[in-house]
Chain A
Amino acid sequence: MKVLIPGVAGLLARIVARKMLDRGHEVVGIDSRPWGDPPKGLTLHTMDIRKRSAEDVFRSFRPDTVVHMATVTHLLKKSSDDRYRINLGGTRAVFDHCNTYGVPNVIFVGRHTYYGAGPDSPLYHTEEEPPTGANTFPELADLVAADLYAGSALWRYPNLGTSVLRLCYTLGPSKHGTLAAFIKGPRVPMVFGFDPLFHFMHEEDAAEAIIAAAEKKVRGVFNVSGPPPLPLSIIIREAGRTPIPVPEVIFRMALGRFGLPSLATGAIAHIKYPIVIDSLPFRKLTGFRFKYDAPATLEAFAKASPVG
């Protein structure tokens, strides 16, 4: 396959790019962020996906698969106009170019946080469910908008094989991602009296799932997960950290101080309530099976990111 990866310098995207190259695919990447030592065989264009020069990459390379990973999905970062523009503006540019240059398959890599967390949202979300929680969590709104925008390509561009993936949290040696950032420190705060399930998978498995979606050319919206979820307290302990239950009022004040991670206030619902997804349709269509179970994933993270 001729694969174009916008957002290739992201840590998960790098794993996807390497694996794609290993499997003999031709890979071109676009990113405005630097990547010091890209793997051999990868053509890297350092540019903003929304700029005219990026369109030229589509025109000259003529990819048959685009894996769009140029979205900011980090829930720990405060929302900004810029982030909103990157997610929506970038996604629009990718789909427009795919349509203009007749790309057969495009994959939008989104997040399971699309569903939102709240006291009355169910466990094991299915793809038909609407997003909730964006109203209480503006940082999530752009992610939700980008997801729905990508999904609308299914009817706007019927010739384009679109697949929208909603990946659960990833964890692994790269120490990258929302969950990894949250449990980075030796002490991890929890909201007293709450211990939600967290759905996570090894980043290698996440990359394999994205590649499976590309190779099987699945069309539609899919939840992607690995092993069943675990309570946050167990994740924290198994990663060698100490959970510190803090009453919610104090929790809000203490964030970003005393070595605790900084967190957008809307994200607190995500530490009180679970987001768990049902990924059966994806597994059925692609045959994807995870390689790393929860203990192996936590071990890989803890080894790469020891405390102290």
Chain B
Amino acid sequence: MSLRDEVRERIDRLEIPFNRYGVDPYGISKKHLALWYTALGLLYRDYFRVRSYGLGNVPKSGRVMLVGNHSGGVAIDGMMVLASMFFDMEPPRLAQGMVDKFINRIPIASLMSCRLGQFTGLPEHAVHLLRDERMLMVFPEGTRGTRKLYWERTSLVQFGSGFMRLALQTKSPIVPFGFIGGGDAMPTVLNASRLGALVGVPYVPITPYLLPVPIPVPLAVHYGEPIYEEGSGNEDDATIEHKVEQVKLRIAELIEQGEKVRAGRAPRLTA
């Protein structure tokens, strides 16, 4: 089966209520998904050769939040997690990320992110999608995470706590994941904020070879066991922070585990 046919067949098996125009109530469109996942498929399988571990930890249906580490300048990790859920889950799942606000101001980027179900990171969106039993992908480090420089690539920066309140409020399980290799694919040495301001993005990652284009290193995603937290979402900050720290620890463990697996799989790339 060609990649294109495979993508089409997988889209048909998504648990999304498409209408006769191939559009769901959020405006997610089969046509746009087909285009997007075909491109992602090439990146996922041929360019980066991504491996997914622990897929059995991811619920096959129902509301869930995928929560992981961010790195690699232009959110390659996010795209590869989308691809991982689409190509390696049976049945395939549509992960919906929460994108930065600037995306919606840019022509075409706005249109595409909306048609692909990658909505602006607003709590209203998150709550609505989870109540609709969707899969939400969250990077609690936000752009602080994609800004990581090459030598910071496996570290974790401060986690936002909004995702934990959302998980409690909507009683959604959290599946932690560690993304391996994002910082190797995009070895950022400098984030050019002024250049970014000129083109309407927060920053442009500068690599040793200047262009913000990722290099084809093998990547991996390690999914951990789901975490079910109890609460209402209205707990005081200290309680929430404590729960967030536990998730962060779990992700750090998954990253460590992933780095070990990778060390045995391929030689480490030196910048």
Q: Closest CB-CB distance, B100 to chain A, in whole Å?
A: 10
A124 at the interface (CB under 8 A from B): yes
Q: Closest CB-CB distance, A297 to chain B, in whole Å?
A: 13
Does B111 contact A124, Cβ atoms closer than 8 Å? no
Q: Which residues of A contact B120 (CB under 8 A)?
A: 119-120, 122
Chain B window 90-119, contacts with chain A (Cβ cutoff 8 Å), 1 for yes, 0 for no: 000000000001001111111100110001
Does B107 contact A229, Cβ atoms closer than 8 Å? no
Given A120-B101, A120-B104, A231-B27, also A272-B110 (CB < 8 A):
yes
Does A193 contact B27, Cβ atoms closer than 8 Å? no
Dominant SS among interface residues on chain B? mixed
Q: Which residues of A contact B24 (CB under 8 A)?
A: 228
B125 at the interface (CB under 8 A from A): yes
A49 at the interface (CB under 8 A from B): no
Residue of A with least CB distance to B109 = A193
Does A197 contact B110, Cβ atoms closer than 8 Å? no
Chain A residues numbered 106-123 whose CB sits less than 8 Å from any CB in chain B: 119-120, 122-123
Does A193 contact B106, Cβ atoms closer than 8 Å? yes
B23 at the interface (CB under 8 A from A): yes
What is the CA–CA distance of A231 and B120 in the complex, to the nearest angstrom?
Answer: 17
Q: Which residues of A contact B27 (CB under 8 A)?
A: 123, 197, 229-231, 274
What is the CA–CA distance of A120 and B101 in the complex, to the nearest angstrom?
Answer: 6
Identify A195's interface contact among B19, B109, B115, B122, CB under 8 A.
B115
Chain B window 1-44, contacts with chain A (Cβ cutoff 8 Å), 1 for yes, 0 for no: 00000000000000000011101111101000000000000000
Does B128 contact A119, Cβ atoms closer than 8 Å? no
Instruction: Tell me which of B27, B105, B115 has the highest count of chain A C-beta atoms within 10 A of its own C-beta.
Output: B27
Interface residue range, chain A: 20 to 34
Identify B124's interface contact among A122, A274, A294, CB under 8 A.
A122
Q: Closest CB-CB distance, B203 to chain A, in whole Å?
A: 19
What is the CA–CA distance of A228 and B27 in the complex, to the nearest angstrom?
Answer: 9
Q: Which residues of A contact B20 (CB under 8 A)?
A: 295
Given A193-B106, A231-B23, also A120-B111 (CB < 8 A):
no
Does B23 contact A193, Cβ atoms closer than 8 Å? no
Q: Closest CB-CB distance, A123 to chain B, in whole Å?
A: 6
Given A195-B111, A230-B21, also A119-B26 (CB < 8 A):
no
Does A123 contact B101, Cβ atoms closer than 8 Å? no
Given A228-B19, A229-B27, A231-B29, also A122-B122 (CB < 8 A):
yes
What is the CA–CA distance of A272 and B115 in the complex, to the nearest angstrom?
Answer: 14
Chain A residues numbered 231-266 whose CB sits less than 8 Å from any CB in chain B: 231, 234, 238, 247-248
What is the CA–CA distance of A228 and B23 in the complex, to the nearest angstrom?
Answer: 10
Chain B residues numbered 109-147 whose CB sits less than 8 Å from any CB in chain A: 109-111, 114-115, 119-120, 122, 124-125, 128
What is the CA–CA distance of A194 and B107 in the complex, to the nearest angstrom?
Answer: 6
Q: Closest CB-CB distance, A273 to chain B, in whole Å?
A: 7
Given A195-B115, A197-B27, A228-B19, also A123-B107 (CB < 8 A):
no
Residue of B with least CB distance to A192 = B107
What is the CA–CA distance of A48 and B109 in the complex, to the nearest angstrom?
Answer: 48
Identify A234's interface contact among B23, B25, B111, B124, CB under 8 A.
B23
Does B25 contact A193, Cβ atoms closer than 8 Å? no
A191 at the interface (CB under 8 A from B): yes
Q: Which residues of A contact B119 (CB under 8 A)?
A: 123
Does A194 contact B110, Cβ atoms closer than 8 Å? yes
Does A234 contact B122, Cβ atoms closer than 8 Å? no
What is the CA–CA distance of A102 and B228 in the complex, to the nearest angstrom?
Answer: 54
Q: Which 4 A/B pairs are nearest by Cβ-Cβ distance? A: A193-B107, A122-B124, A228-B25, A119-B104
A-B contact pairs, 27 of them (CB 8 A): A119-B104, A120-B101, A122-B125, A122-B128, A123-B26, A123-B124, A124-B128, A126-B124, A129-B124, A192-B107, A193-B106, A193-B107, A193-B109, A193-B110, A193-B111, A194-B111, A197-B26, A228-B19, A228-B25, A229-B25, A230-B21, A230-B27, A231-B23, A234-B21, A247-B107, A273-B104, A278-B128
Contact surface of A with B, Cβ cutoff 8 Å: 119-120, 122-124, 126, 129, 191-197, 228-231, 234, 238, 247-248, 272-274, 278, 294-295
